[in-house]
Amino acid sequence: MKAWETNVRKVVPYVPGEQPKDKDIIKLNTNENPYPPSPMVKKAIEETNVDKLRLYPDPTIGSLVSAIADYYEVKEENVFVGVGSDDVIAMSFLTFFNSDKPILFPDVTYSFYDVWADMLKIPYETQPLDENFHLVKEDYFKENGGIIFPNPNAPTGLLEDLSVVEEIIKRNPESIVMVDEAYVDFGGESAISLISKYDNLLVVQTFSKSRSMAGMRIGYAIGNEELIKYLNDVKYSFNSYTMNETAIRFGVASVEDKAYFEETVEKIIATREWTKKELERLGFSFPDSKANFIFATHETIPAKELFEALREEKIFVRYFKKPRIDNYLRITVGTEEEMQKLVNFLEKYIQNKK
Ligand code: PMP
């Protein structure tokens, strides 16, 4: 090892799902939305004035903060915007998880949490989900340096009742509780309604899933004014211009088209429910997903084998070689046509094994 290497901040990075170049694959591996963003975004792209790009963007991200605040009927002071919810959560870890006590999150959850904790040297303790993959709320009633969990959880898709979420927030007045609602629009009840009641609650959401804009990288947090101020202080101490001008504009266009958003979400929910019935018929079981993916295991065929067979067929799903979940496939809900192709292939494959 070179002398300077002892002082390098060494990290084991998060591994995102594959983004294959091949155009004719069916891509059900990273929970993207199969439908395009709102036509209003297309219009905003056409109206973009390239000359304006010589200027720095608004460091306060004012227009997007204001559009999000209007949408959720909160004050602008309650909204923080960042470059995808990954950026918002990383910034929040840096800002709020700053004690010697361990932060708590589930053992089966979004696999970026332990990466950020390791990188920022934040101690953490994972809390096992129960045998049905539900959160055990009592595990979060002990001393801690902060709490984070997704609701619905990933990769299980399971939603916890808002009363469970509220109890966790209520029992932890001394630490910040972050609820990662990346998938909440597909059937969950948001904790945003609780921000005026609890000053220790930060709700994080994203444009990457329900708003079909993963490529634009827009995420946001909603919470008490004080929390948002602390987050902005850290952001401005890091980089004043996190959001680029185009992302800000396209984000505003997207939020303003509520009808399109609702219609797209409805389509995905309908396809998810259809896919659940078909998968059940084929011998799969899964937690009852309220997200835009299904976390499924087959009664006889190992997940890894199905993952590889699907891949051969150019159908990409996600497989995690991790304790407790290495016999599951996480299948993103695509278009009706894509899901029909997935079901047709699985049906044939399973038949041939009999
Ligand atoms: N939270 C969860 C639970 C997720 O699954 C994802 C998507 N990988 C994110 C946050 C981050 O999404 P983005 O950065 O695209 O907003």
pLDDT at 157: 98
For ligand 1, say whether the CB of 110 is within 6 Å of any of its atoms: yes
pLDDT at 105: 98
Residue nearest to atom 12 of ligand 1 (CA): 85
Cα Rg, the chain, nearest whole Å:
21
CA of residue 209 to ligand 1 center, whole Å: 8
Burial 74-83 (b: 16+ CB within 10 A, else e): beeebbbbbb
Summarised one tens digit per residue, pLDDT across range 325-345 is: 999 999 999 999 999 999 999
* Cα separation, 295 vs 312, whole angstroms: 20
In which residue are the tokens 């995690």 written? 320
- Hey, which of 184, 206, 218 would you mutate to test ligand 1's pocket, going by the most ligand atoms within 8 Å of its Cβ? 206
Summarised one tens digit per residue, pLDDT across range 122-153 is: 999 999 999 999 999 999 999 999 999 999 99
Summarised one tens digit per residue, pLDDT across range 24-55 is: 999 999 999 999 999 999 999 999 999 999 99
For ligand 1, say whether the CB of 32 is within 6 Å of any of its atoms: no
For ligand 1, say whether the CB of 115 is within 6 Å of any of its atoms: no
Query: Left (φ > 0), alpha (ψ -120 to 50) or beta: where does 165 sit?
Result: alpha
Q: Ligand 1: which atom is nearest the Cα of residue 110? A: 3
* Cα separation, 44 vs 98, whole angstroms: 40
The one-letter amino acid code at 64 reads L
Q: Which residues pair with 127 in a beta bridge?
A: 106
CA of residue 182 to ligand 1 center, whole Å: 6
CA of residue 130 to ligand 1 center, whole Å: 23
Residue nearest to atom 8 of ligand 1 (CA): 30
pLDDT at 23: 85
Q: How confident is the model at residue 229 (pLDDT cuts 50, 70, 90)?
A: very high
Burial 330-344 (b: 16+ CB within 10 A, else e): bbbbbeeebbebbbe
Q: Ligand 1: which atom is nearest the Cα of residue 208? A: 15
For ligand 1, say whether the CB of 206 is within 6 Å of any of its atoms: yes
Q: Using an 8 Å Cβ cutoff, are 34 and 25 in contact?
A: no
For ligand 1, say whether the CB of 86 is within 6 Å of any of its atoms: yes
Q: How confident is the model at residue 301 (pLDDT cuts 50, 70, 90)?
A: very high
Q: Using an 8 Å Cβ cutoff, are 213 and 181 in contact?
A: no
Best CA proximity match to 103, nearest among 136, 158, 154, 142: 142
Torsion sign across C-alpha atoms 265, 270, 275, 276: positive
* Cα separation, 198 vs 34, whole angstroms: 36
Half-sphere exposure of 144 (CA within 13 A, CB side): 25
User: Does the pLDDT value for residue 217 go beyond 90?
Assistant: yes
CA of residue 10 to ligand 1 center, whole Å: 23
* Cα separation, 160 vs 162, whole angstroms: 6
pLDDT at 13: 94
CA of residue 86 to ligand 1 center, whole Å: 6
Least confident of 18-22, 91-95, 115-119, 238-242: 18-22
User: Does the pLDDT value for residue 181 go beyond 90?
Assistant: yes
The pLDDT of 53-63, averaged and rounded, is 97
Least confident of 13-27, 52-66, 198-212, 219-233: 13-27
Half-sphere exposure of 182 (CA within 13 A, CB side): 29
User: Does the pLDDT value for residue 1 go beyond 90?
Assistant: no
Best CA proximity match to 38, nearest among 205, 264, 243: 264
What pTM, to 2 d.p., does this model score?
A: 0.97
pLDDT at 226: 98
User: Does the pLDDT value for residue 96 go beyond 90?
Assistant: yes
- Hey, which of 89, 93, 208, 318 would you mutate to test ligand 1's pocket, going by the most ligand atoms within 8 Å of its Cβ? 208
The mean pLDDT of the chain is 97
Summarised one tens digit per residue, pLDDT across range 267-300 is: 999 999 999 999 999 999 999 999 999 999 999 9
**What domains can be seen in the chain, in order of their start residue?**
20-36+259-353 (3.90.1150.10), 39-256 (3.40.640.10)
Q: How confident is the model at residue 354 (pLDDT cuts 50, 70, 90)?
A: confident
